[in-house]
Chain A
Amino acid sequence: GAGVSQTPSNKVTEKGKYVELRCDPISGHTALYWYRQSLGQGPEFLIYFQGTGAADDSGLPNDRFFAVRPEGSVSTLKIQRTERGDSAVYLCASSLGGGSGANVLTFGAGSRLTVL
């Protein structure tokens, strides 16, 4: 697609529920990133994929968070047993991820998650 698309744009859920957030990157972008941003803070790194594999998942806060990218394109961030502290804007970004070493990220508009 022309840009990075994230759905849903807003999600309100209850504590303890399961949530899936979807990211559709720019076509041809091999690298895909997930960040979490709280109000007034910078994006907090969660995980990034190079192709289908998670190249670095060191930012996932705990085992309730999991992300997949089975075909190297669309990615889903999955949060189990949501807690109020998970409330944030979840940002997805993609990049060419190639040998240039530049790696400029293009961001989606984000998915705002509110856990009641």
Chain B
Amino acid sequence: SQQGEEDPQALSIQEGENATMNCSYKTSINNLQWYRQNSGRGLVHLILIRSNEREKHSRRLRVTLDTSKKSSSLLITASRAADTASYFCATVNTGGFKTIFGAGTRLFVKA
């Protein structure tokens, strides 16, 4: 089963530009996480935001969470060609550890 829906499905930008990806989900959550996947590889955790937080920063990443709208956004600033990958949001349900992923946004950063 999948819970999150990301948009856009695909995003192509120039190096140096910012990239914004959005995620919507359906049920109550404990926290929301973003993962990155390079082609043919496993997923790597990027950042986590708890349900009682509204914004979180880590290096060039900024994540927002709006629990009233059940949505989150991931902003990558000053993108680099090495940021080219698929990005997935994942929600962790309240009261447990079940982690559900969205369909992902495919980001392509042109050098």
Chain A residues close to B by CB (< 8 Å): 4, 31, 33, 35, 41-45, 48, 50, 55-56, 58-59, 91, 93, 95, 97, 101-110
Question: B residues touching A (Cβ–Cβ < 8 Å)?
Answer: 1-2, 4, 30-31, 33, 35, 41-45, 48, 50, 88, 90, 92, 96-104
Closest to B42 in A: A107
- A15–B9 CA distance with the chains assembled, in angstroms: 33
What CA separation (Å) do A95 and B31 show in the bound complex? 15
When distances are taken between beta carbons in the complex, the residues of chain B under 8 Å from A91 are 42-43
- Given known pairs A104-B48, A107-B42, A109-B42, the reply for A44 and B2 (CB within 8 Å) is yes
With A101-B31, A104-B48 known as contacts, the answer to whether A42 contacts B104 (CB < 8 A) is yes
With A35-B101, A42-B101, A45-B99 known to touch, is A102 a contact of B48 (CB < 8 Å)? yes
Tell me the nearest residue of chain B to A59, going by C-beta: B1
Q: Could you show 17 A-B contacts with beta carbons less than 8 Å apart? A: A31-B97, A33-B99, A42-B88, A43-B101, A45-B98, A48-B99, A55-B96, A93-B43, A102-B31, A103-B30, A103-B31, A104-B33, A105-B99, A107-B43, A107-B44, A108-B42, A110-B42
Extra contacts besides A106-B45, A108-B42 (13): CB < 8 Å: A4-B42, A31-B97, A42-B2, A42-B88, A42-B103, A45-B2, A56-B96, A93-B43, A105-B33, A105-B99, A107-B42, A109-B42, A110-B42
Return the 8 tightest CB-CB contacts between A and B, nearest first. Answer: A107-B42, A42-B101, A42-B103, A43-B101, A107-B43, A103-B97, A42-B104, A109-B42
Q: Which residue of A lies closest to B47 (CB)?
A: A104
